[in-house]
Amino acid sequence: MSKHHSDGLDGVVVAETEISGIDGEQGRLWIRGHDVETLAREQSFEALLGLLLEGALPDEAGMARWRCALGAARLRAFDGLWRMGAALEAENGMDALRAAAACLEEDGPNGRTTDVRIVGALPVFAAAWHRRRQGLHPVPPDPERSHAEDFLRMTQDEAPHPAQVRAMNRYWVTVAEHGMNASTFVARVVASTHSDKVSIVTAALGALKGPLHGGAPGPVLDMFDAIEPNAEAAVSWLRDELAAGRRIMGLGHRVYRVRDPRAAVLEEATQELEQAGLGSAYLERARLVEKAATDVLAELHPERTLAANVEFYTAVLLDGLGLPRSLFTPTFACARVAGWLAHAAEQRSGGRILRPRQRYVGSRPGQRVSA
């Protein structure tokens, strides 16, 4: 047995994949050979779903099929909301999403229909939970609309502005897949046991809920609220937080050694919202804090670059779309589920059951333990 131990599995390769690749030194992310920046600017979430699940961007006819299938899946999920009353009463949106997803049924062994059913259902559940928290009735889906547009409409009960639809779509394309992150690893572990896809997704939702994974964007806005909107105050606040040993939310990444490429995509999307008169009041604050943080961290930790990650501008973009902080992580999940399902299929197609080793460091039978 190897004595090598890697805290957090750093540097350990657990799978070979054709789904996505990351170059942390250069700040690049590609999905099945396509740069994420290009996909986010040029493709819809429906197209990305086809790329993830079938290996290639769909043609026009394929796009129509994906859009129709997702529209039908949203309707089916809405028709089943009556069975999920208790789930959607949860205080936390991710608890509601996980409990509602667990009520979904599988459609046969080939899994493609089940994939679509799950991807179509999560935005319906997230929007319904948000509406119930406000004491309002859920809004029925409109299968003629795109997935991103219909989610905003179901959440806000009004037709969104085209700029909002573009921003929502760009966000979902940007965050749908990102290598072997914590929730994707969980999905692959469960898939390696040949468990069902509903179990795979509910397990991954539990991982995404964590504040060190999908729960980070809300605290980014809390940070902006705590900082006075000027460079001197930002530098002072950041120095105090670092001196106290606290983490600066939205900065730094386990993989990237430069600025997260997804941060640039989402900053650009947020700026386009602002140009349409729909932007977040936090955009300039975010840029000010990012600049101050970059300077302070370069001074205090010159050995490593800690730049903006995806959560930094996710928070600003979703705020600009009118979504409350309580809905940020469920909205993230509505996209990342596509990546989970792609990885689940890949893992089940040839991977062994995931069973890493551990190194026991406790006492042994008969060994005296000091008090």
253 tagged catalytic: yes
Task: Identify whether the C-beta of residue 59 lies closer than 8 Å to the C-beta of residue 82.
Answer: no
Pairwise CA distance, residues 253 & 113, whole Å: 35
Task: Identify whether the C-beta of residue 70 lies closer than 8 Å to the C-beta of residue 172.
Answer: no
In single-letter form, the type of residue at position 349 comes to: S
Catalytic residue among 147, 149, 311, 343: 311
Please name every residue paired with 21 in a beta bridge, in sequence order, or none if there are none: 30
Catalytic residue among 130, 253, 267, 343: 253
Question: 198: alpha, beta or left, given left = phi > 0 and alpha = psi -120 to 50?
Answer: alpha
CB burial string 207-219: b at 16+ within 10 A, e below: bbbeeebbbbbbb
Pairwise CA distance, residues 273 & 188, whole Å: 36
* CA atoms 351, 111, 29, 306: torsion sign: negative
Radius of gyration of the chain (CA): 21
Residues annotated as part of the active site:
253, 311
